[in-house]
């Protein structure tokens, strides 16, 4: 682990388009999934003999199944609007990390096999066969895209680069060249119920320990219930919330909110994971299988509501896809959003007076907020346009006296990825993660220098872990990153209502 050697990019005073360095990241690729990890998901154990044919067949299937993919491949006019919008391009200076160039690794093969001009005059239209070299580029560079979709915001045609990355990864899984990090994790969800591989007894022990901690801290018997039948709410949260820091402080925050609101809730050991890495590898089948665990748990526990904890892509999957993947959720109480985000839940309680927050508890902090890509660009919260931007800020401001936003072109729908999203949060991609964090770190530095910001709050497990890892590379303290519900946890007034 300590062997990776690379230079952390220098933070620039004014972000400018970098000078390109061809193949600067041609050495970067994640570990390939072992046959065991591949086969447990129903993918071939290793690269199949006739991989070219299988890959082209799969591409054809995806083009029929997802019309959007065909539109995206056909409609690019090479205008260049996306080129400098990618954090990985800015941080690595590798021209293949320009979103258009990364897409073209896929597009040129599409043209060769699925367009008239590409079939008969390939060289005129930049069409190419899927060679070993091209497959190598696919594996490298489609694992240098965090599917954050910032480039799509700037594309005049609305081309969704993430869908192309997802399609490429799905094709690679189908021919036996999957990524270890994602596929090992998905296997654990099917077998144990969560990304960590945290079995029920360990989860129960962890939760009990947290109850003792809260009692020691506050004197209140705040519960973290597990597998309680008949509870009103099922909370589905990323398993990192049971394990890592600062995630676990957010979990304590959720528990205090439920406690103080007097609403019965439970976690599930069967659906002990909100994350759904099926999306990262572009596999509808894997996504569906993971999502169905939540439905099964909700039915077995007899809950009336499902609330999702602080996890970026999980909220995209829950908000945008659960209904078709595992729905209909018509057994839930129709008076509440289905599913509901923990931020929406806490926000409503702030409005109704169901909880009271003492902002002074966070007076030692000047806080900024990192919009997570999948929340910002692929979902919504509340009943107002842009609610996914407003509600987290509203909750933070209700819990803190001092809040400052980062520069406008780095937040909300233009937010920069933390550098670790989309299935890239793995040690074997550390160089990419550090370099890809550059634009976000520059924006953070701006508010640190000008406004004295000393905390950045996030609502995504990946963002929190990625920040913890990369902050020190840029000279910031590791514990600068906090959970939004950690701020709520500090500020919430427990006990009898006054």
Which of 425, 437, 438, 457 touches other proteins by CB under 8 A? 425
- Of the candidates 445, 465, 466, the one whose C-alpha atom is nearest the C-alpha of residue 454 is 445
**From the CB of 2, what's the least distance to other proteins, in Å?**
5
158 alpha carbon, distance to own chain's centre? 21
**From the CB of 152, what's the least distance to other proteins, in Å?**
23
Which of 49, 53, 205, 409 touches other proteins by CB under 8 A? 205
469 binds other proteins (CB under 8 A): yes
**From the CB of 46, what's the least distance to other proteins, in Å?**
14
* Separation of alpha carbons 350 and 180, rounded Å: 42
How many residues touch other proteins under the rule CB under 8 A: the total is 42
* Separation of alpha carbons 254 and 309, rounded Å: 8
Only one of the segments 79-87, 203-211, 330-338, 490-498 lies at the binding site for other proteins (rule: CB under 8 A); that segment is 203-211
Only one of the segments 110-118, 207-215, 301-309, 355-363 lies at the binding site for other proteins (rule: CB under 8 A); that segment is 207-215
CB atoms closer than 10 angstroms to residue 384: 11
Q: Is the dihedral of CA 488, 491, 492, 494 positive or negative?
A: positive
Secondary structure of 208-275 as H, E, C letters: HHHHHHHHHHHCCCCCCCECCCCCCEEEECCHHHHCCCCHHHHHHHHHHHHHHHCCCEEECCCCCCCC
465 binds other proteins (CB under 8 A): yes
3-state helix, strand, coil in the chain (%, to 5): 55, 5, 40
198 binds other proteins (CB under 8 A): yes
Only one of the segments 62-70, 155-163, 197-205, 290-298 lies at the binding site for other proteins (rule: CB under 8 A); that segment is 197-205
**From the CB of 199, what's the least distance to other proteins, in Å?**
6
- 283 CB-near residues (< 8 Å, 6+ apart): 41, 170, 173
Strand segments, DSSP code E, in 262-370 are 265-266, 305-308, 340-341, 367-369
210 binds other proteins (CB under 8 A): yes
Contact flags string 220-259 toward other proteins, x per CB under 8 A = ------------------xxx-xxxx--x-----------
Name which of 451 and 468 has its Cβ closer to other proteins.
468
Which of 197, 225, 354, 407 touches other proteins by CB under 8 A? 197
Query: Residues 175 to 194: which contact other proteins by CB under 8 A?
Result: 180-181, 184-185, 188, 194
Name which of 313 and 402 has its Cβ closer to other proteins.
313
The tokens for 220 are 């209140």
213 binds other proteins (CB under 8 A): yes
**From the CB of 429, what's the least distance to other proteins, in Å?**
12
**From the CB of 182, what's the least distance to other proteins, in Å?**
10
* Separation of alpha carbons 439 and 417, rounded Å: 9
Query: Residues 131 to 160: which contact other proteins by CB under 8 A?
Result: none
The tokens for 285 are 């089948």
427 binds other proteins (CB under 8 A): yes
Name which of 84 and 428 has its Cβ closer to other proteins.
428
* Separation of alpha carbons 289 and 278, rounded Å: 9
Which of 44, 45, 199, 407 touches other proteins by CB under 8 A? 199
**From the CB of 417, what's the least distance to other proteins, in Å?**
14
483 phi and psi angles, rounded to 5 deg? -85, 145
Contact present, 45 and 187 (Cβ < 8 Å): no
Which of 156, 209, 386, 475 touches other proteins by CB under 8 A? 209
Contact flags string 259-288 toward other proteins, x per CB under 8 A = ----------------x-------------
Which of 80, 201, 262, 353 touches other proteins by CB under 8 A? 201
428 binds other proteins (CB under 8 A): yes
Query: Residues 83 to 122: which contact other proteins by CB under 8 A?
Result: none
Task: Give the angle subtended at the CA of 144 by the CAs of 138 and 148, to the nearest 5°.
Answer: 120
Contact present, 253 and 162 (Cβ < 8 Å): no
Task: Give the angle subtended at the CA of 180 by the CAs of 177 and 186, to the nearest 5°.
Answer: 105
Name which of 409 and 427 has its Cβ closer to other proteins.
427
Only one of the segments 41-49, 111-119, 150-158, 456-464 lies at the binding site for other proteins (rule: CB under 8 A); that segment is 456-464
Query: Residues 305 to 344: which contact other proteins by CB under 8 A?
Result: 311
- Of the candidates 119, 101, 111, 116, the one whose C-alpha atom is nearest the C-alpha of residue 165 is 101
- 16 CB-near residues (< 8 Å, 6+ apart): none
* Separation of alpha carbons 65 and 150, rounded Å: 25
Name which of 43 and 89 has its Cβ closer to other proteins.
43
462 binds other proteins (CB under 8 A): yes
Contact present, 463 and 246 (Cβ < 8 Å): no
1 binds other proteins (CB under 8 A): yes
Burial code (b: 16+ CB inside 10 Å, e: under 16) for 205-219 equals ebbeebbeebeeebe
Residues that bind other proteins (CB under 8 A): 1-2, 31, 180-181, 184-185, 188, 194-199, 201-202, 205-206, 209-210, 213, 238-240, 242-245, 248, 275, 311, 425, 427-428, 461-462, 464-465, 468-469, 478-479
């Amino acid at each position: 682990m300590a062997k990776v050697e690379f230079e952390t990019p220098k933070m620039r005073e004014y972000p400018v388009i970098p000078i390109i360095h061809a193949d600067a990241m041609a050495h970067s690729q994640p570990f390939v999934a072992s046959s065991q990890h591949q086969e447990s998901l129903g993918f071939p154990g290793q690269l199949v003999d006739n991989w070219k044919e299988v890959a082209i067949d799969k591409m054809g299937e995806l083009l029929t199944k997802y019309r959007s993919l065909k539109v995206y491949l056909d409609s690019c006019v090479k205008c260049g609007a996306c080129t400098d919008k990618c954090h990985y391009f800015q941080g690595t200076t590798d021209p293949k990390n320009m979103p258009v160039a990364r897409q073209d690794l896929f597009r040129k093969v599409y043209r060769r096999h699925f367009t008239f001009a590409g079939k008969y005059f390939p060289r005129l239209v930049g069409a190419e066969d899927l060679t070993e070299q091209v497959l190598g580029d696919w594996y490298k560079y489609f694992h240098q895209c965090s599917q954050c979709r910032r480039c799509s915001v700037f594309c005049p045609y609305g081309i969704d680069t993430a869908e192309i990355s997802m399609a490429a990864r799905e094709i690679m899984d189908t021919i036996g060249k999957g990524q270890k990090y994602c596929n090992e994790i998905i296997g654990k969800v099917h077998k144990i119920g969560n990304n960590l591989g945290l079995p029920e007894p360990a989860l129960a022990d962890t939760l009990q320990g947290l109850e003792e901690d809260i009692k020691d801290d506050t004197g209140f018997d705040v519960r973290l219930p597990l597998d309680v039948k008949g509870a009103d709410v099922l909370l589905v949260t990323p398993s990192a919330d049971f394990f890592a820091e600062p995630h676990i402080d957010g979990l304590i925050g959720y528990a205090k909110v439920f406690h103080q609101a007097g609403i019965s809730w439970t976690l599930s050991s069967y659906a002990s994971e909100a994350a759904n890495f099926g999306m990262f590898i572009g596999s509808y089948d894997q996504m569906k299988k993971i999502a169905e665990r939540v439905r099964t748990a909700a039915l077995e526990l007899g809950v009336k509501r499902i609330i999702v904890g602080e996890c970026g892509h999980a909220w995209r999957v829950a908000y945008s896809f659960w209904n078709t993947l595992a729905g209909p959720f018509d057994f839930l109480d129709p008076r509440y959003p289905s599913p509901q985000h923990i931020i929406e839940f806490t926000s409503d309680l702030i409005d109704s007076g169901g909880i009271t927050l003492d902002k002074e508890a966070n007076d030692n902090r000047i806080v900024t907020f990192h919009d997570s890509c999948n929340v910002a660009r692929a979902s919504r919260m509340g009943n107002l346009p842009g609610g996914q931007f407003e509600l987290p800020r509203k909750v933070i401001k209700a819990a803190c006296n001092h809040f400052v936003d980062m520069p406008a072109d780095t937040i909300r729908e233009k937010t920069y990825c933390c550098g670790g999203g989309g299935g890239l949060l793995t040690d074997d991609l550390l160089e990419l993660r550090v370099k890809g964090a550059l634009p976000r770190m520059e924006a953070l530095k701006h508010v640190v220098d000008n406004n004295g910001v000393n905390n950045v709050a996030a609502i995504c497990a990946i963002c929190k872990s990625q920040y913890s890892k990369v902050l020190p590379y840029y000279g910031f303290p590791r514990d600068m990153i906090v959970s939004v519900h950690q701020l709520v946890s500090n500020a919430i007034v427990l006990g009898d209502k006054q």
